[in-house]
Every structure is written in C-alpha cells, then in structure tokens.
Amino acid sequence: MPAISLPRHNTFPEAEWRALARHWYPIAYSDELDAGKPLARTLLDEPLIAYRTTGRQVVVARDLCIHRGVPLRHGWQEGDELVCAYHGFRYGADGRCTAIPAQPDLPVPKKLCLSTVASIERLGLVWVCLDPAADTAPALPDWPELSDPAYRMMHDPPPEWDCTPGRQLENFIDVGHFSWIHVGTFGNRAQPEVAPYDVVKTPGGFRVAYPYLAANPDATATGFSGSSTIQRWMTYDLHLPLACRLVVEYEGGKRHCIFDAPTPVSRRKTRIFFFIARNYDHHVPAEDLLAWERKILAEDKPIVESQRPEDLPVDLSEEFHIRSDRFSVAFRTALRDLGLGPAYSA
C-alpha cells in the first residue's frame, strides 16, 4: 500500500507524524454529533469533518471538497449528506459525491469523493486513526463503567491546551504533585511523601494502585462531609499510548472515575478528552461535579503548558527521576519501545 500522504500544513517531523498516525485517538464525544450538524476537528494537523447520519452511523472525512478546495466546515448536513457551501456539491456517507447542482445531467465521476478516514464510536467517544493497520483490530481501552448504568458519565467540551499529549498524560498519572499544585482542591500539603508503589504490566499498558489521604474542602465533590481529609484508594489503568482511567474509590464502594485521553491536534496543541463517571450521588448536578474537575485542571494547565522541552523526553537520561516517578518512567519507556521515541524527545 502506498504511504499515506501527510497533511498540507503538517507541523511534525515526518517520522513522528507517521508513528503517531498509526494509533487511535478520540476526536469528539459521541453527543457532540447529536445536533445534526457537522463538527470540524483536527488530528495530527489533518483537518477533519465528522457527522452522524440519520441511521446513527458516524462519518469522518478529511475536511476538503475537492471541487475547489473548500472545507466542508462551511457547509451543512442534510439528511445523510454533507453539502459544500461554495457550489452545493453533495457527499454521501461513503464519501461519494451524489449531486452537482450546477450541472445536474453530468454523471458524477467516481473520483469525486471525500477522503473518509477510519473511525469507531465506542465508550461515548468517536475514535479516529489516520493510518490504521489493515489486519489488526484497533486496540481501544476497555472502560466498563461507561456502559454500566450504575455510572453517570459527565463531560465538558474538550479543551485545547498548548502542550504535547505526552506531557499532559504524564501529568495525569503523576502521583507526586497532588500535595503541591492541587492544594486548592484535593491536595494535602501535610502528605508530601510518596510511599513506594508498584507498576504492574497489563495487556494494554500499566496499572498502579496508590492510596492518598486527600484534602476534603468541598463535600459536594467527594460526597463526604464532616472531615477535612478523606482517604482515596486510587487505581490507574494506563492504556498505551495515550489514554488512562483513574478509579478513585472512597469508603463504602463509592467510585469516582476520571478518564483522560489527550489527542494530538498539532505538534504543540492537544485536545483533552477528560471526563468523569461515578456510581453514586446521582442527585448532584453534573455541573457542580464538572466545576470541581475544571478547578483541578486549571491547577495543572499552567504547569503542563510551561514544561520544557515540550516533548516528553523518552530518553531517561534527559530528566531526573525519583522513586515517585516510577509510573512515568514506565510510561516513557513504553512510548520509546512503541517507536514513539522520536515523537516525544526534543
């Protein structure tokens, strides 16, 4: 098969782009496509257009009408078709042009076709791979809470940060920073020491269990009032290369799950699919719980966006590691082994 061509305005070195393009990333939450309007998103510098057909199929294509090179984001959806804003060419769910209004008797040539890309809707997300392996099933994470009616999934629109996904995901799995930058939310400054923990290999990545005596300034956020601290039993399941579920368990089997899947938009821009699901307190408005998570993310954002080098160094000699960094060392090593080393080293 010929090598896939790079986006016109690609900001990545070619080898880095090709290595990243073989993996699956979320580009949208499923419900972002429910409005019957096409959604424009960018993955690895490739502008994409996504929409849902009346039969609920998700279609994702490169965002370009090949008549005169106009992005379809200027157009609209009619039934199962996209209509280009410039001259009204219409495109069906398979990408094929179905109508040329200015010359209705012209048989539509086969090559007049949008360039569709591989997509899968799963776990409440639309996942895309620009260069999927022809013979292997996509390795997507297994997050059973998202199909369990006992859990309520909640999310904000996915924000874009000025950082690389490697730095952002490493921040998500970093157990050593809670007691420092998160003292405005759950961080407990009286608990700076990080106890030793194990990094366990799993089929998709790594699992780490880590207990933390967190601050508890907001009873709505945790569901527990009357105590200034609260015991969290935290279990991370990292799914390589760039997705992680964190189960925060409190007393009595109350589970608050946090999911993080950063998507590379361009070399220095990342769209963050950060969402939650919990199995209790369904009477609390989602907005209150999401406001709490936004506050936590706001504590992380300036730190992550200012890290240098921007790319996560997978050469372990480049930064200094302590015992509490065992998880991130495993993550960096795994990225390097996946051939993503050049992608994340300066």
Distance CA 68, CA 266 (A): 25
106 vs 298 by CB, closer to ligand FES: 106
Does residue 293 interact with Fe ion by CB under 5 A?
no
344 binds, among Fe ion, ligand FES, none (CB under 5 to 8 A by kind): none
67 binds, among ligand FES, Fe ion, none (CB under 5 to 8 A by kind): ligand FES
Distance CA 11, CA 17 (A): 9
Instruction: Indicate the residue type of 44.
Output: L
300 binds, among ligand FES, Fe ion, none (CB under 5 to 8 A by kind): Fe ion
Which tokens belong to 339? Answer: 């051939």
300 vs 311 by CB, closer to Fe ion: 300
44 vs 50 by CB, closer to ligand FES: 50
49 binds, among Fe ion, ligand FES, none (CB under 5 to 8 A by kind): none
126 binds, among Fe ion, ligand FES, none (CB under 5 to 8 A by kind): none
170 vs 300 by CB, closer to Fe ion: 300
Q: What's the min distance (Å) between Cβ of 303 and Fe ion?
A: 8
Work out whether the CA dihedral 327, 334, 247, 266 comes out positive or negative. Answer: positive
13 vs 88 by CB, closer to ligand FES: 88
Q: Side-chain half-sphere of 52: how many Cα atoms within 13 Å?
A: 17
* From 131, 300, 311, 325, residue interacting with Fe ion (rule: CB under 5 A): 300
Contact partners, residue 252, CB within 8 Å, separation at least 6? none
DSSP helix/strand/coil, 95 = coil
Q: What's the min distance (Å) between Cβ of 100 and ligand FES?
A: 8
Strands 200-201 and 205-215: antiparallel
Q: Where are the beta strands (DSSP E) in the chain?
A: 25-29, 39-43, 46-52, 58-62, 76-78, 81-83, 90-91, 97-99, 118-122, 125-129, 152-155, 160-161, 200-201, 205-215, 229-239, 243-250, 254-266, 269-278
84 binds, among Fe ion, ligand FES, none (CB under 5 to 8 A by kind): ligand FES
**Closest residue to Fe ion in the complex (CB):** 300
75 vs 166 by CB, closer to ligand FES: 75
Work out whether the CA dihedral 20, 22, 23, 27 comes out positive or negative. Answer: positive
95 vs 211 by CB, closer to Fe ion: 211
The count of chain residues that interact with Fe ion, using the rule CB under 5 A, is: 1
Contact partners, residue 25, CB within 8 Å, separation at least 6? 43, 127, 128, 129, 242, 261, 263, 264
User: CA-CA distances (angstroms) from residue 292 to 186, 221, 248?
Assistant: 10, 6, 15
260 binds, among Fe ion, ligand FES, none (CB under 5 to 8 A by kind): none
Rounded to 5 degrees, what are φ and ψ at 325?
Answer: -90, 10
Q: What's the min distance (Å) between Cβ of 85 and ligand FES?
A: 7
68 binds, among ligand FES, Fe ion, none (CB under 5 to 8 A by kind): ligand FES
Q: What's the min distance (Å) between Cβ of 50 and ligand FES?
A: 18
DSSP helix/strand/coil, 84 = coil
Residues that bind ligand FES (CB under 6 A): 65, 67-68, 70, 84, 86-87, 89
Q: What's the min distance (Å) between Cβ of 87 and ligand FES?
A: 3
The residues that touch Fe ion, with contacts defined as CB under 5 A, are 300
